[in-house]
Amino acid sequence: MFCNAIPPVANGSNLNGGLELESSCFIILVLVLYSCSSFLGVALLLARSSVLRHSVQASKADSLMHLENLYCSLFPVVCLPDVCVRQLRSDERCELNQLGGVCVCRRPAIVDDSTKQAAVVDPVEPEKILRVAQENGVALKLVLTTHHHWWDHAGGNDKIKQLVPDIKIYGGSVDNVQGCTNKVENGDKFSLGVDINILSLHTPCHTKGHISYFVTGKDGEDPAVFTGDTLFVAGCGKFFEGTAEQMYQSLCVTLGSLPKPTQVYCGHEYTVKNLQFALTVEPENAKVSEKLKLAEQKRNEGVPTIPSSIEEELETNPFMRVDLPEVQEKVGCSSPVDALREIRQRKDNWRG
Ligand SMILES: [Zn+2]
């Protein structure tokens, strides 16, 4: 039922809110560079780390980070019967099965087996997703939008609505999601086909209306949660529209209370860097070291590190471990919220 549904790869680039990309010049620069990447492909990607770092880093370290993220942003996933289809980044390798830059991995999918209805999370490139859906004989019925950042999460909604007029597009009621037809609030439930139930969890802070989707299927299957840019593997999203108090509630209370076997599908493949940072907070945490080693191995093999699980996050994610007095002590704080705020600030300044 569930798939390796990795929504696009990038941290939130908040063009709507103007919180990250501050000038129209920068937006144009990003668009030009992205267009160029389509033609230059690997060459540009190979060059990006050196060229971009040298040209931009000195004056706009934050902008560089967003720019690099945008290169990795347009990689949608569609969940189909028994497969996960994910467009490959030009610098990614997939050892499993390649079809013209699309990685087809045999994994469970968010598909109702009885009705062959499918849901897709944050579909940024609708044409490709629709093509693959048609090839696999399933009907796209739902879009689950985690938050309004259009460049890498909500930006394909209008187009997919044109292509699939009866599709329902879900999004947070206070998040102004592009193309949203079904606004949801915390606790709202809906279904896909006959066997899949979806629970909306309001997880604000990265954006004020951010929604995570908790998905359950037939008895005996582990549930899954699609956490967008709130919870990453071993990390969390930036506090663009909220406070440390809100992120604590979202991460440690709402998501932290889900069943431990819940599979965590987050918005971006930041796992290796996040685990490297986690070791700066808890150098002696053996679970973090083990997970980092495994994540590096997976990436070298072209395999995603996602999903994780709530249990693993509680063991390795420093942002979800702030209830522990020893973690608070390590960052010089005496409360969970203060520790979360401090760790986020350290991560924002960390250039690992
Ligand atoms: Zn975002």
The closest of 121, 179, 111, 180 to 152, measured between CA atoms, is: 121
Confidence of residue 34 (pLDDT cuts 50, 70, 90): very low
Q: Stretch 264-271: mean pLDDT, rounded?
A: 84
Cβ neighbours, 10 Å, residue 136: 18
Q: What percent of the chain has pLDDT over 90?
A: 46
Output the pLDDT for position 76: 39
Residue 242 CB-density burial (10 A; 0-12 exposed, 13-18 middle, 19+ buried)? buried
CB contact burial 148-174 (16+ within 10 A = b; e otherwise):
bbbbbbbbbbebbbeebeebbbbbbbb
Strand partners, 103: 86, 98
Output the pLDDT for position 110: 65
The closest of 133, 134, 132, 126 to 154, measured between CA atoms, is: 126
pTM of the predicted structure, to 2 decimals:
0.73
Q: Stretch 49-55: mean pLDDT, rounded?
A: 31
Span from the CA of 239 to the centroid of ligand 1 (angstroms): 10
Span from the CA of 229 to the centroid of ligand 1 (angstroms): 5
| Domain range annotation of the chain | 77-268
229: annotated active-site residue: yes
Q: What percent of the chain has pLDDT over 70?
A: 68
The closest of 179, 156, 196, 352 to 273, measured between CA atoms, is: 352
Confidence of residue 172 (pLDDT cuts 50, 70, 90): very high
Span from the CA of 11 to the centroid of ligand 1 (angstroms): 5
Higher per-residue pLDDT: 108 or 207: 207
Span from the CA of 268 to the centroid of ligand 1 (angstroms): 10
82: annotated active-site residue: no
Confidence of residue 164 (pLDDT cuts 50, 70, 90): very high
Cβ atoms 95, 42 nearer than 8 A:
no
C-alpha 247/C-alpha 238 separation (Å) is 9
Topology of 77-268 in CATH? Answer: Metallo-beta-lactamase; Chain A (3.60.15)
Cβ neighbours, 10 Å, residue 12: 29
Q: Which residue in 149, 175, 202, 210 is the catalytic one?
A: 149
Higher per-residue pLDDT: 279 or 50: 279
Cβ atoms 340, 334 nearer than 8 A:
no
91: annotated active-site residue: no
Span from the CA of 222 to the centroid of ligand 1 (angstroms): 26
Among 121-135, 180-194, 284-298, name the one with the lowest average pLDDT.
Answer: 121-135
